[in-house]
Homo-oligomer: A and B are copies of this chain.
Amino acid sequence: MKKLINEPSAVVDEMLDGMVAAHPQQVRRLDGAEVLVRNAAPVEGKVGIVSGGGSGHEPTHAGYLGPGMLDGAAAGEMFTSPTADQLGEMIGACDGGEGVLCVVKNYEGDVMNFDTAAEMADMEGVEVVQVVVNDDVAVEDSLYTSGRRGVCGTIFVHKIAGAKAAQGAPLSAVATVAEKAIDRVGTMGMALTSCVTPEKGEPTFELGDDEIELGIGIHGEPGTERTDVMTADEVADHLTEAVLADLDLDAGAEVATIVNGMGGTPLSELYIVNRRVQEVLGEREIETHEAWVGDYMTSLDMCGCSVTVMELDEELKELLTSSVDTPALTVAE
C-alpha cells in the first residue's frame, strides 16, 4: 500500500486539521472532537443542518459546510460511524435556537448513534428532527443496513435542506422538504477496483482484471452482480435504467443528476459517463435541469462511479440552484 499519510491511526485527525488549514475563513474544529462546523455556527434564528458518518467519503461531509448547506459535519473513523457523544456535541454547537435537522445516511451504526445523540440533545432542550437518506436502489438490506443504503443522493438532500433553512423556514418545514427530496432521489454505483483503507492496507474485496461490480456500496459492500468489463456507455445505461425504474419517471419529468466519482476515477471518464446518462434521459424525454459531475461522495481510492437522479418540482428546483458557498460546492448568486 502506498498512500500520502503519516500514521493510519492519524488520518482522520490530520485530514480535519488540513481542511481547517485550507479553509480557515469557512470552517473550524470543535475542541478535541472529530467535528467541523462552519465558523458562523450556531446561526441564531436559523435551523441548524448537520450530518456525519464514517470518513473516507471526502468531500462528504465537511466539504459541504457553509452558508446554504451544512452547519456541522461529524467525521467518524474510516468507514465507521461517529460516536453518539461527538454527534451530540455537534448538535449542541449548531443549535441557534430553532432546532437542528440531522441528515443521516442509512447505516445501522449511524442511525443508532444519531438516535442516541438526538435523545441527549432533547434532554438539553434542543429540538431535533432526523431524516434518513436511503437512495441506493441496488439492494434492499445489505452488509451494514436494514433497508437501502444512503449514498450520493445525500448531497442533494444537504443542499435542499440547507437552502430551506437559509430562507428562515422552521424546523418542521425544513424536515418536510428534506423528506420530499429523499422520496424523489435514487442512486446506483459500480466499481472497477476496490478501495484500500489505511488501517487494512490491502483491497477490501477482490475484483479480477477483467471484472467490474455493479450496485457496489461506498464502503465496498457487495453489489448486485459481477460482470465482465463493460464500456462506459453500457455502465451508464445500466445504472441510469436501474435508477429510472425505481423512480418510475414519466416523459416530461424534470430532474437533477449526479455522475459521482468514487475517488480514483479521472474526471474525463466521469464526463464520458455523463454524456451517455444525458442521452438516456433525453431519449425518454426527461429534462435535466442540473447535471453535476465530479467527486461528491467517494470511497477512498476506489475507481468507479455512481449515477444519481432526483425528480424536481418548482420548490426543489429553486432550492437546489440557490447560492451556496462551501469548500466543495459553490453556486454563485
Q: CB-CB < 8 A to A21: which residues of B?
A: 274-275, 278-279, 291
Chain B, residue nearest A192 (CB): B2
* Residue interface mask A206-222, B partner, CB < 8 A = 1: 00011010000000000
Are A330 and B333 interface neighbours, CB within 8 A?
no
A143 at the interface (CB under 8 A from B): no
A272-B268 Cα distance, complex, nearest whole Å = 25
Contact B231 A271 (CB under 8 A): no
User: What residues of B have a CB within 8 angstroms of the CB of A301 in the complex?
Assistant: 264-266, 303
A218 CB to closest chain B CB (Å) equals 13
**Is B323 within 8 A of A268, CB to CB?**
no
Interface size on A, residues (CB 8 A): 64
* Contact flag A265-B4 (CB < 8 Å), given A15-B272, A22-B293: yes
User: Does A174 make an interface contact (CB < 8 A)?
Assistant: no
Contact assessment for B305 and A271 in the assembled complex, using a CB-CB cutoff below 8 Å: no
Once A209-B2, A269-B4, A332-B333 are accepted as A-B contacts, the answer to whether A275 and B59 lie under 8 Å apart by CB is: no
A323 and B273 alpha carbons, distance in the complex (Å): 30
A293 vs B192: C-alpha distance when bound (angstroms): 26
Report whether A2 and B229 are in contact in the complex, using a CB–CB cutoff of 8 Å: yes
Task: Contacts A264-B264, A300-B268 given; indicate if A4 touches B58 (C-beta within 8 A).
Answer: no
A173 sits at the interface (CB 8 A): no
Q: How far is the CA of A265 from the CA of B196 in the complex (A)?
A: 12
Min Cβ gap A130→B in Å is 26
**What residue of chain B has the Cβ atom nearest to residue A274's Cβ?**
B18
Q: Which of A4, A273, A330 has the most CB of B within 10 A?
A: A4
Decide yes or no whether A318 CB sits under 8 A from chain B. no
- The CA-CA distance from A265 to B232 in the complex, in Å, is 22
Q: Which residues does chain B contribute within 8 Å of A85, judged by CB atoms?
A: none
Known contacts A274-B18, A278-B21; is A5 also within 8 Å of B269 by CB? yes
Assembled-state Cα–Cα distance A268/B330 (Å) = 19
Other A-B pairs, 8, CB within 8 Å; known A17-B275, A22-B259: A2-B192, A2-B229, A5-B269, A18-B293, A55-B268, A266-B301, A330-B331, A330-B332
